[in-house]
Amino acid sequence: MKSKDVRNNFLEFFKNKSHTIVSSAPMVIKDDPTLMFTNAGMNQFKEYFLGNGTPKSPRITDTQKCLRVSGKHNDLEEVGKDTYHHTMFEMLGNWSFGDYFKKEAIAWAWELLTEVYKIDKDILYVTVFEGNEAEGIPVDQEALNLWKEIIPEDRIIFGNKKDNFWEMGDQGPCGPSSEIHVDIRSAEEKAKVSGRELVNQDHPLVVEIWNLVFIQFNRKADGSLEKLPQQHVDTGMGFERLCMVLQDVKSNYDTDVFTPLIKEIEKITGTTYGNDEQVNIAVRVIADHIRAVAFAIADGQLPGNTGAGYVIRRILRRAIRYGFTFLNQKEPFISKLVGSLTDQMGEAFPELKSQRNLIENVIREEENSFLRTLDQGLVLLDQIVKETEGKTVSGKKAFELYDTYGFPIDLTALILEEQGLNLDEKEFEKELQKQKNRSRNASKVTSGDWEIVSEVENKGFIGYDHLDAEVKITRYRKV
Ligand code: ATP
Ligand code: MG
Ligand code: MG
Ligand code: MG
């Protein structure tokens, strides 16, 4: 099944169960001081769970652009090294706001996976919240009973609070969850160790695909739980992981979500994916990061020196350096992947199409500017490593790399890690603070390094909201 059909079938399935299909919210969040990027499907519905406002329908479904590179969910270090965590990914979801609850959510999830997608029941495991006595939260008996009617008991696994209990914060709505995991190992591997043992153990072929959260409690300021007057369902399924299962491959990168991009990377860089692990990681990182950066720019977040802009710049510089070191790319090449990405994703996410030129230009400029200093920076870093006694590299030196050569600290740390070294991050922070104080004293006004040149209307862009409104797009020029 093509990825396009996987996405559409999900939405259609829930539409047929009376859900309203809505658009993805922007991946970049502009008005929430607690969150820079959307990291789950439920983010755009947060206020409804808090009882502020009512959704346009009690049943909603969508695919949400998510980015997990900061805060509570930060998967950046895993990306490329493993084959199932991305920075940017799509989360398919269905919601009930005070409408249906566990019975329907569980039955429909099972129906969709086993009857529509026709996933073999024998590769599925589910988890149920085991309860937590210390905190007075009961075992999720209701979910357990429902699953027992569907799946043999030896495929049900009890999970702890970390994996199977969702809370919005210290206070507020919360509840147990049930996850669905797949075991796509070979029969031979399965004979050696039961999939049960590998669920939630970071095994690349025994992975979580769907999380069903049942929001039934409110945690009060004193820590106690009370039953919510209305119960809600919030589910999230990893689209790329689902495609991996349905396309019968062993890595998200072998699905048609990624293969066109990987082919393009191979073509442009003259490398082959699949032969050398270091090259493989580099190719995966680049295929992943181009998506994160392109979607962020399409949502109006340009690379910059602070906040969300710096997160995007860091991701892009990481990709540039992987290309430089492991694929021998000394000239800009990542911007050349935007066309392939737009062909692949532009139908589901039209903002990519309408912003294609901007995305290409911004990425090319960023590549040009970082490539100017990357080479020298790497030479300096080599020298620093040679002069380092022991395993820890000076934060002061890392600061020089950051300040003069534009090396984000996590990039320096990553390069050092490849050589079995680590970094004195505390000392780096100290130097950074000193610099901030200096520039504050100089009372210099610095804005980002992009300036607004004109504002144009763009009717085709639907990234900012899904009210079908015309949205103003700002065009930028590098200064
Ligand atoms: P994992 O345990 O694999 O890190 P999670 O429990 O952190 O996943 P959830 O917050 O439950 O993930 O998100 C719902 C679903 O989104 C997961 O079941 C998974 O299929 C998918 N997902 C989560 N993180 C990523 C990621 N970084 N890249 C791709 N898919 C992801
Ligand atoms: Mg996770
Ligand atoms: Mg998990
Ligand atoms: Mg989960």
Measured in angstroms, how far is the CA atom of residue 361 from the centroid of ligand 3?
A: 37
The atom of ligand 1 lying closest to the CA of 209 is: 20
The atom of ligand 1 lying closest to the CA of 180 is: 18
Other Cβ atoms closer than 10 A to 146 = 21
| pLDDT value, residue 442 | 65
Provide the terminal-to-terminal Cα distance of the chain, rounded to the nearest Å.
Answer: 46
Measured in angstroms, how far is the CA atom of residue 115 from the centroid of ligand 4?
A: 23
Ligand 1 contact, 75 CB (< 6 A): yes
Ligand 1 contact, 86 CB (< 6 A): yes
| pLDDT value, residue 467 | 26
Measured in angstroms, how far is the CA atom of residue 249 from the centroid of ligand 2?
A: 21
The protein residue with its alpha carbon nearest to ligand 1, atom 16, reads 238
| pLDDT value, residue 470 | 27
Q: How long, in residues, is the chain?
A: 479
The atom of ligand 1 lying closest to the CA of 87 is: 27
Ligand 1 contact, 165 CB (< 6 A): no
The protein residue with its alpha carbon nearest to ligand 1, atom 3, reads 208
Measured in angstroms, how far is the CA atom of residue 370 from the centroid of ligand 3?
A: 35
Ligand 1 contact, 343 CB (< 6 A): no
Task: Report how far residue 32's alpha carbon sits from residue 458's, in angstroms, rounded to the nearest whole number.
Answer: 25
Ligand 1 contact, 159 CB (< 6 A): no
Measured in angstroms, how far is the CA atom of residue 40 from the centroid of ligand 1?
A: 9
List Cα–Cα distances, 191 to 183, 194, 202, 205, 245, in angstroms: 12, 7, 19, 14, 20
Q: Which of 3, 107, 36, 108 is nearest to 304 (CA)?
A: 36
Ligand 1 contact, 315 CB (< 6 A): no
| pLDDT value, residue 443 | 52
Ligand 1 contact, 236 CB (< 6 A): yes
Task: Report how far residue 432's alpha carbon sits from residue 423's, in angstroms, rounded to the nearest whole number.
Answer: 15
Residue 132: DSSP 8-state: B
- The environment of the single-atom ion ligand 4, i.e. residues with CB closer than 5 A, is 211
Strand pairing report for 225-238 and 392-393: unpaired
Ligand 1 contact, 181 CB (< 6 A): no
Instruction: For 374, list phi and psi in degrees, rounded to 5.
Output: -60, -45
The CB-side HSE value for 47 (13 A sphere, CA atoms) comes to 8
Tell me which of 68, 127, 208, 209 to substitute to probe ligand 1's pocket, judged by most ligand atoms within 8 Å of the beta carbon: 208
The protein residue with its alpha carbon nearest to ligand 1, atom 6, reads 163
Residue whose entry in the numeric block shows the structure tokens 């492991």: 326
How do the residues of the chain divide into helix, strand and coil, expressed in percent and rounded to 5?
45, 20, 35
| pLDDT value, residue 33 | 81
Low-confidence ranges of the chain (pLDDT < 50): 444-479
Distance of CA 107 to the CA centre of its chain: 27
Strand pairing report for 206-219 and 73-74: unpaired
Tell me which of 6, 76, 83, 91 to substitute to probe ligand 1's pocket, judged by most ligand atoms within 8 Å of the beta carbon: 91
Q: Domain 3-246 is of which CATH architecture? A: 2-Layer Sandwich (3.30)
Beta carbons of 258 and 252 less than 8 angstroms apart: yes
Q: Which residues contact 26 (CB under 8 A, 6 or more apart)?
A: 38, 65, 299, 300, 463, 464, 465
The protein residue with its alpha carbon nearest to ligand 1, atom 5, reads 208
Ligand nearest to C-alpha 75? 1
**Which pTM value belongs to this model?**
0.90
Q: Which of 111, 107, 96, 116 is nearest to 18 (CA)?
A: 96
Ligand 1 contact, 208 CB (< 6 A): yes
Task: Report how far residue 479's alpha carbon sits from residue 477's, in angstroms, rounded to the nearest whole number.
Answer: 6
Task: Report how far residue 92's alpha carbon sits from residue 83's, in angstroms, rounded to the nearest whole number.
Answer: 19
Cβ-in-10-Å burial (0-12, 13-18, 19+) of 390 comes to exposed
The domains of the chain are located at: 3-246, 261-393
